């Protein structure tokens, strides 16, 4: 009986000691907080909030602002969106290796990726730019060109081609030969068959292609140092009225003329191969295109992009309020 009472007395003593020490620690903590400088309190709160914003932006979702019309009508200039960064595996640190993910980009996904033609100003600046961009929820972008416009460090496009696909363009319209198949399919027919309701926008009228092609031929004459025939100059005179010309068609006409004039020059044969053979998507890459085909710098200019460079998937438009909704 005495031993049992001693046991409970010991338990009570330990409990009281623990509660006393905990109360003392809380009292000391409160005293320190009362003595702390209010400015330091604000700084501490700001740093904690900034850290949370960075963690969320880096590993979960990030805010982006749409800078151009390359994705009209899916995304409009000035739209602010959230990008799902965890779906394909987030980067460990800005610009460094990505964490693995079982989910890979699928055809028709809206993806954001590093611009392959972007010229970096150095890793320190890139990291600083991305941190500021994330902290301000895309409101401040310090990476600007000589005209004060934000540089296209990242691009947001639609994943149109997967590994093994081949593409060719004919007057701005895309034809696809899917991996393992022999027939070519018009992109619009394929889209209709899958019940995809996003709109492929064209700003250039197909009736204007003769003007564009004549301008390309005239440019080839200029490259050769020859004055073009009067009828060619007249046909190309309307180029200035084309607000969004198909530069690929212009370049194809220029190269064909140069190739005809200088058949011994293999440079033009090799450059023309892309226009005749189109683009092939290797394993581990995706072919991105803008929905606004006549106003988009995309895979047609820099080729397929590595899946390791794809940072996330477009998820939600959150601003302006009238456009709130899922991105499809």
Pair 299, 163 in one domain: yes
How many Å apart are CA 65 and CA 69, to the nearest integer? Answer: 12
How many Å apart are CA 153 and CA 115, to the nearest integer? Answer: 5
Q: What is the overall mean pLDDT for the chain?
A: 86
**Residue 199 covered by a domain:** no
83 pLDDT band (50/70/90 cuts)? very high
Pair 68, 173 in one domain: yes
Q: Where do we find the tokens 């740093």?
A: 47
Worst-scoring range by mean pLDDT, 136-145, 155-164, 222-231, 260-269?
Answer: 136-145
**Residue 134 covered by a domain:** yes
Report the CATH number that the domain containing residue 97 is assigned in CATH: 2.10.109.10
User: What is the 8-class DSSP label of residue 245?
Assistant: -
pLDDT for residue 220 is more than 60:
yes
| Total count of domains within the chain | 2
Q: What is the residue range of 224's domain?
A: 206-272
How many Å apart are CA 317 and CA 327, to the nearest integer? Answer: 7
pLDDT for residue 140 is more than 90:
no
Pair 110, 78 in one domain: yes
- pLDDT for 255 equals 96
| Residue at a domain's end among 236, 254, 272 | 272
Tell which wins on pLDDT, 70 or 18. Answer: 70
- Mean pLDDT (whole number) for 196-201: 88
| Residue at a domain's end among 230, 250, 272 | 272
Strand partners, 305: 286
Residue 65 has φ and ψ, to the nearest 5°, of: -115, 135
Query: What's the N-to-C CA distance of the chain in angstroms?
Result: 76
pLDDT for residue 223 is more than 80:
yes
Pair 136, 71 in one domain: yes
> Which residues, 6+ apart, have CB-to-CB distance to 19 below 8 Å?
none
The alpha carbon of 78 is separated from its chain's Cα centroid by a whole number of angstroms, namely: 15
The helix/strand count (H/E) of the chain reads as 9, 12
DSSP assignment string, 43-70:
HHHHHHHHHHHHHHHHHTEEEEE--SST
Burial of 74 (0-12, 13-18, 19+ CB in 10 A): buried
Distances (CA, A) of 27 to 15, 30, 35, 42, 156: 18, 5, 12, 22, 53
């Amino acid at each position: 009986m005495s031993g049992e009472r001693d046991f409970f007395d010991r338990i009570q003593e330990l409990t009281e000691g623990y509660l006393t020490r905990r109360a003392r620690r809380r009292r000391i903590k409160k005293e320190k907080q009362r003595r702390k400088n209010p400015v330091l309190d604000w700084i501490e709160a700001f740093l904690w909030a900034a850290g949370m914003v960075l963690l969320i932006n880096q590993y979960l979702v990030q805010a982006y602002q749409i800078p151009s019309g390359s994705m009209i009508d899916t995304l409009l200039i000035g739209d602010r969106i959230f990008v799902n960064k965890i779906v394909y595996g987030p980067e460990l640190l800005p610009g460094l290796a990505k964490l693995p993910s079982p989910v890979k980009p699928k055809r028709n996904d809206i993806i954001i990726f590093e611009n392959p033609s972007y010229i970096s100003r150095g890793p320190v600046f890139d990291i600083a730019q991305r941190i500021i961009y994330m902290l301000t929820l895309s409101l401040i972008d310090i990476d600007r060109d000589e005209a004060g416009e934000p540089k296209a460090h990242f691009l947001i496009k639609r994943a149109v081609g997967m590994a093994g696909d081949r593409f060719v363009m004919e007057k701005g319209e895309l034809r696809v030969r899917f991996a393992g198949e022999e027939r070519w399919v018009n992109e619009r027919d394929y889209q209709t068959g899958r019940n995809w309701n996003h709109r492929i926008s064209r700003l250039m009228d197909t009736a204007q292609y003769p003007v564009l092609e004549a301008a390309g031929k005239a440019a080839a004459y200029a490259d050769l140092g020859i004055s073009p025939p009067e009828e060619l100059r007249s046909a190309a005179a309307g180029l200035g009225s084309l607000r969004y010309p198909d530069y690929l068609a212009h370049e194809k006409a220029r190269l064909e003329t140069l190739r005809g004039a200088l058949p011994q020059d293999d440079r033009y044969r090799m450059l023309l191969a892309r226009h005749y053979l189109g683009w092939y998507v290797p394993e581990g890459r995706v072919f991105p295109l803008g929905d606004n085909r006549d106003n988009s710098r995309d895979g047609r200019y820099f080729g397929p992009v590595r899946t390791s460079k794809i940072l996330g998937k477009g998820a939600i438009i959150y601003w302006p309020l009238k456009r709130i909704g899922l991105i499809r």
